Amino acid sequence: MATTKNRIHMICGFCGCKDEFMYQVKPEGACNNDGIEYPEVYILCYNCTSSTALSEVITRHPKDSTVPTIKDS
Ligand SMILES: [Zn+2]
């Protein structure tokens, strides 16, 4: 799946796998400090079955705060 032309490379922190990932977007995935839900992207490693929320490793873009939340809709 990964090629040498990718600008971002990923390695699973649990098993060291680098090419068996999938992602999943969950609309109700996480809550901010105010308890408001927002969508979250989960990276799934199919080698060791671990799941990592993207916000655990990358800061959310500030413009994402304008996206309507589940509670707002
Ligand atoms: Zn893994």
Give me ligand 1 centre to Cα 68, in Å.
32
> How many domains does the structure of the chain reveal?
1
Reported as a single tens digit per residue, the pLDDT across 27-60 is 877 777 777 777 899 999 999 999 999 989 988 8
Containing domain of residue 21, as a range?
Answer: 1-73
The pLDDT value recorded for residue 53 is: 93
Q: How many helices (H) and strands (E) does the chain have?
A: 0, 3
Vertex 41 angle, CA 35 and 45, to 5°: 130
Q: What percent of the chain has pLDDT over 90?
A: 42
Whole-prediction pTM: 0.69
Give me ligand 1 centre to Cα 49, in Å.
6
What is the average pLDDT across 11-35?
Answer: 89
Is residue 69's pLDDT more than 90? no
Give me ligand 1 centre to Cα 19, in Å.
9
Give me ligand 1 centre to Cα 47, in Å.
5
